[in-house]
Structure 1
């Protein structure tokens, strides 16, 4: 048996670093992603090929650490499917992508989810999409060594065309929210500043959040309301933990507010929340980077309603909510801001809400 499958990347409209705090996120799937051409094999070997690179993995006895680099992601998915009791076997998987790596658009999750739907499709196995997202997340944790939340895999597998996905990262419950931008567009700017989510800084943020929750007597920072922040200093002596907590709590509130504003069609207020999110990520969570801050400021100066960094931070992309008539001016302003600093020229993508992972 053979076939072709596609899994998209995602851009998160708002709700950053809330997923591993059991919070709320609002991503949508991109049209761009990872496509895999897959053939079933009679042996127990996973043959992986991508853009001139290849790897051969024996599935029997596969354990974390046996495969490194990009191949750890698809190999980990196969291993975790088997560990979950799903009898997938050997396959030849040929990957291609039109999604930029390192741009904060979840190329790794797209690779995982493309593998997941291809292997289950090849072997005729029906796995509920929320469970498949958990399996892909486990593969990234255990085989790639990245302690990611559940948002990226859920967005790649669950999103619908023309909709954002409101996801409760604690319960796994989700709902599709129509993304009617009414003469506006979401412009993604790849700042070309490279990052790695496996870096210690990302893990440190996660550890800090869990420590703050423990000190505050809650299972996760999601359990706090904005009104609870006034009492936090008495129980958090560390000012860094207070800042990390404040970001997560206020970001969850911004997600809820953004949902209501989108339902009301108030895009100007949505834009203000996007910018507030960036400020919080820069000052309280301290995960922004110079190119992101400059790109956000330039976009706002040229007419964007709001802008913010996206992804884990320390490099990657920003997004801007832009009136269609201001799009050219925003692009020009960001390009000029980078040029005067002699930075690598950014790249631009108009992000449209596409479908989740599917057979082609």
Structure 2
């Protein structure tokens, strides 16, 4: 019995209709480009969030999780009143599953059944591995099946983004939901965030003898707080100043003109997005032409840009990258929204213990909290267990 099923059995006597799960994700490269209509290259990981679901006859939705054993309940026809206007009345963790129910109910052509949902997650919270999208993905595939909606993975990703933007109040893009829903083993998802077109890009990490080492700094971050929103506003301002729809429409050649028009901070925010989009395209090309052993410099350049231009790194993330590189990683960078969370390092298999120990020593020497280190492998996306 899964932990989610056990939680559900404590909640209701109704038999489970099934258990669905969705993975967290690591973004290999392409940070903060998603809401600028740009390019990203994430992959789903093996750590997953499980949702055990049973149906009810009273038109209500009730959610419980391993984060909080207290059930949160609402009538399905009340969700439209709750989100977004009264979202603060709902505990933050519960806004994710209830928000997905709200977003998907809008797509239903007939009355949908009530549900009880119990959630248990293996994805570290606050580590930049998108535990939120894993919740959204698991609940989305469950309700899509139980409510017979017949939606595509793209449509489910859009529903997840709507839930996160409006029900939760976090102004994120669509990368995380897409990665969680569309992941494949040993592959990344090359996503055009403007068209939502995706392409599976083989990574070949195992064949090349590489591991992805995650360094969870245990410095918690929250997307709904000000730093993320400020970066997004600066990007939107930069696009208006350059008279384009989004920063996706600029190339590296446009940066000289941007520097003449903008204050220093806005220019550096814009420069990160423009150069990061190019790095994603270059990484896809290098993976195809030369393989994963050749992408290290692109990962390091991405981290430097986030540290210096976008200013979303932390001393802990910088220390993780530096220590991993000193111990033999071929490339490393912070991953996720920043202001904490995790760094990733692409490390030869035999050097993972040495790289892990080097990071621990660096954190101890700096007086940082002990990090949580583990490896991840590119894995399958959301589905019924």
TM-score norm. by structure 1 comes to 0.97
Q: Alignment partner for residue 114 of structure 2, among 58, 70, 90? A: 90
What are structure 2's unaligned runs of at least 5 residues? 1-15
Secondary structure at 1:17 match in 2: coil
Secondary structure at 2:98 match in 1: helix
Structure 2 counterpart of 1:54: 71
Aligned 8 A contact 1:78 1:88 in 2:
no
Structure 2 counterpart of 1:171: 195
Matched, 1:220 2:251: no
Structure 2 counterpart of 1:134: 158
Q: For the residues of structure 1 that align with 2:141 and 2:283, how far apart are their CA atoms?
A: 31
Secondary structure at 2:168 match in 1: coil
Give per-residue Cα distances to partners, 1:247-275, cap 9 Å, x unaligned. 00000000011011111234343011101
Matched, 1:231 2:257: yes
Structure 2 counterpart of 1:147: 171
Matched, 1:107 2:131: yes
Q: For the residues of structure 1 that align with 2:258 and 2:215, how far apart are their CA atoms?
A: 36
Q: For the residues of structure 2 that align with 1:4 and 1:265, how far apart are their CA atoms?
A: 40
Matched, 1:32 2:47: yes
Give per-residue Cα distances to partners, 1:204-234, cap 9 Å, x unaligned. 0001101100110110001111111122122
Matched, 1:18 2:33: yes
Q: CA deviation at 1:295?
A: 0.6
What are structure 1's unaligned runs of at least 5 residues? none
Q: Alignment partner for residue 208 of structure 1, among 188, 210, 234? A: 234
Q: For the residues of structure 1 that align with 2:323 and 2:74, how far apart are their CA atoms?
A: 46
Matched, 1:265 2:290: yes
Q: For the residues of structure 2 that align with 1:137 and 1:239, how far apart are their CA atoms?
A: 31
Structure 2 counterpart of 1:162: 186
Q: CA deviation at 1:151?
A: 0.2
Q: CA deviation at 1:159?
A: 1.4
- Correspondence 1:180-195 to 2 at 5 A: 180-181=204-205, 182-195=208-221
Structure 2 counterpart of 1:6: 21
Q: For the residues of structure 2 that align with 1:47 and 1:137, how far apart are their CA atoms?
A: 21
Structure 1 counterpart of 2:98: 75
Q: Alignment partner for residue 338 of structure 2, among 313, 336, 356? A: 313
Q: For the residues of structure 2 that align with 1:110 and 1:243, how far apart are their CA atoms?
A: 32
Q: For the residues of structure 2 that align with 1:12 and 1:296, how far apart are their CA atoms?
A: 15
Give per-residue Cα distances to partners, 1:269-326, cap 9 Å, x unaligned. 3011101100000000000011001111101111111110011000100000111121
Aligned 8 A contact 1:88 1:119 in 2:
no
TM-score norm. by structure 2 comes to 0.91
Q: CA deviation at 1:84?
A: 2.9
